[in-house]
Structure 1
């Protein structure tokens, strides 16, 4: 079974947090917050807001829950997306968000970047959905930034939120950064996987869990990367999606196909053809996918231009696809 795209990672070590602000030599040293040993989940939960309180001392209310929308983070500049939830009132999808990244080395956490993170809706929505089900805790989009990770290991992020009423909220999350991985990234050659194809709805239904089925199964991925056109390929399983974002991601990709289908190949690779969660498609292993969904933009020469893990939408994808087909 694939790892869920929303991966909650904790740092099971004792750490201290150092906030590296711009200070003159006359100013006091950066504050340090000691975090007791967090070898148990309960201890980690009890101390999960210390970095947030150090970096956003004016924050009010309970610490926000910060949910990374991806399972993979690698050294270099990476797309980093999070969902934010107030434990009392539900998803936070209004206000201005900055993401503050810090690197954990032994017992010290050092702030490396502070980046604005705009809200990007899932699927074909152009903005926050006013009719979403807040009672069910439904998240309709993510906050996205592109930090640069200069070393592998344990990292953390603090979400600083300025609410519409001017109040401040904050939350934090620890995560891991890998030195490298086998999954194709920007500049790498796309893997020429032979994927299942079908053209008629009744045949597509045998290899696609979407209902109704989509029409992005006519061309195999290996043929697409060699036919001289750019390719947009989505790995997703709408009916069996652990992250619950495959459906909206498929909707966005279908809309992009309607807009740009004459200029690029559009392919949906069903992760579980036959709707069998114990038998993923061969391409999933060939691409070394740790989660779902994933979308890759591939240029006309068969090189990966960009990759997106987790939920995606038109607001983020449309400009990227337009740049791909220029």
Structure 2
């Protein structure tokens, strides 16, 4: 089934419930008919096939007291298992404790073997409430995988940008992986961005360690500091974390930002790209607040301020210097 998103997870829960129900005895002909009708949907069929495959790989579960104990504990947490309990209770045969443990263990196996993944399209953002109480905010065109275990909380930022509000848990470090870089935090807020082969870390609150294990390099950031890893020798620098992370509020804030950089930032949030073809104004500074994705408002402002013309083209919107008036 690949990675688990919202609809995938619900389908997987249903598949686990059906798998458990069909292992019961007896199973009526009506139940078989209902199951076959449910499985005719391609997504349901793929989910059930995945469940069967994972269970065949995991016949050790019933003989693993530690996994059974963990499963029983998980089943007692209503916030995590209510959906599965409802599926097992509605029109299903009564389950013994062994049966409930079987269903829970099966669901744990599939979800833990396949990390959850979240991704956003261009211009979209997503807020993810993690199981430990932390929050992940994914920015435009981003993707992250969640790998949580008893020993650590690990998130792999595969592309784009994420803002992390970390719940304190000294026993399980919170680690964000971006390429060859790891960011370790306890009870803090920070931003990690991957773009054009570089990784940038900005700390809003608390404290983080930025580590490159392969190079045995490590830095500790204080609030309103940033570190950019792009091939040049990394040095922590002062940053305005509130301004840099303004995207979390749906706004882009610029303060004395070179126009070329502002254009690149605006382009991240729209399929309609701005092409700046006026070299004389690339380094000119721009300040202002714009809604993410509102390319039209940005173009209107900068054409007026810098004397540019905006022309639609197959590439997007071309910004050129205005031709001097004839005469």
TM exceeds 0.5? no
More helix by share: 2
TM-score by length of structure 1 reads 0.24
User: Taking CA–CA contacts closer than 8 Å with sequence separation of 6 or more, which of the two structures ends up with the larger relative contact order?
Assistant: 1
TM score, norm. by length of structure 2: 0.24
